[in-house]
Chain A
Amino acid sequence: EVQLLDSGGGLVQPGGSLRLSCAASGFTFSSFAMSWVRQAPGKGLEWVSSITDSGGRTYYPDSARGRFIISRDNSKNTLYLQMNSLRADDTAVYYCAMDPGGYSHRYWGEGTLVSVSS
């Protein structure tokens, strides 16, 4: 059974940093691209970042580029999202997701809440 366990969320002040983790199990982690998707309170889904299976290529929307860094450790079956220069509008539940090929997110974690406030 595929499991994705998101963690690392919490309350952080504007301008601060946070690192999210996503522990994967139940599939060959190193064979699949992975993504982070977020959802602000009461709002829709927003793609945050993606990384290829090897970690060799990363992708970001304009809202995350230059502030967020996605990475992975295939030896630990873990995906990461380093978030810097956090702003109030980064407040959201952050989900990690497994991308099976093509451009869809097949399996999702339960999400971890990031709150940016002074």
Chain B
Amino acid sequence: QSALTQPASVSGSPGQSITISCTGTSSDVGGYNYVSWYQQHPGKAPKLLIHDVSNRPSGVSNRFSGSKSGNTASLTISGLQAEDEADYYCSSYASSARYVFGTGTTVTVL
């Protein structure tokens, strides 16, 4: 099972919106509504931001939103803040491996 494809880096200025893509196949992202997104600050454990494509767990800011079209899922961060500077990973259920993670995206706040 290959990792899902994410851009290596995305940047934006404070207050702007950015979108991170996550591309898979019909055997993972495209085939199931089980895409999750995680935020990871350096040296820290990952934090769940989005589950089941577009659902936020309690306590997660509504500046984070998720969507999916075909084999590509997306995470949008609106009103970008300095604290959003981190690594972001998508994950999906995969028929061949149960879970597959994305390659990861580093978000830089300019």
- The answer, among B47, B48, B93, B101, for a CB contact under 8 Å with A44, is B101
Kindly state whether residue B46 has any CB partner on chain A within 8 Å.
yes
Mark each residue of chain A from 90 to 118: 1 if its CB lies under 8 Å from any CB of chain B, else 0.
00000100000011111111110000000
Q: Across the A-B interface, give the 5 residue pairs with the lowest CB-CB distance, nearest first.
A: A47-B99, A104-B51, A104-B36, A103-B93, A108-B45
Bound complex: CA A50 to CA B98 (Å): 9
Q: Does B86 contact A (CB under 8 A)?
A: no
A7-46 interface code vs B (CB 8 A; 1 in, 0 out) = 0000000000000000000000000000101000000111
Q: Which residues of A contact B3 (CB under 8 A)?
A: 44
CA distance A44 to B103 in the complex (A): 6
Residue numbers in B under 8 Å from A62 (CB-CB): 1, 97
A-B contact count (CB 8 A): 66
Query: How many residues does chain A have at the interface if contact means C-beta atoms less than 8 Å apart?
Result: 21
In the assembled complex, B91 has its CB within 8 A of some CB on chain A: yes
Whether B57 is near chain A, meaning CB under 8 Å from some CB there, is yes
Q: Which residues from A are CB-within-8-Å of B45?
A: 95, 108-111
Let me know if A61 is at the binding interface, CB within 8 A.
yes
A37 to B101, CA, bound (A): 10
Cβ–Cβ contact A104 & B52, under 8 A: yes
What residues on B are CB-neighbors of A59 within 8 Å? 98
Q: Residues of B contacting A106 with CB < 8 Å?
A: 48, 51, 57
Which of A45, A61, A102, A107 meets B1, CB within 8 Å?
A: A61
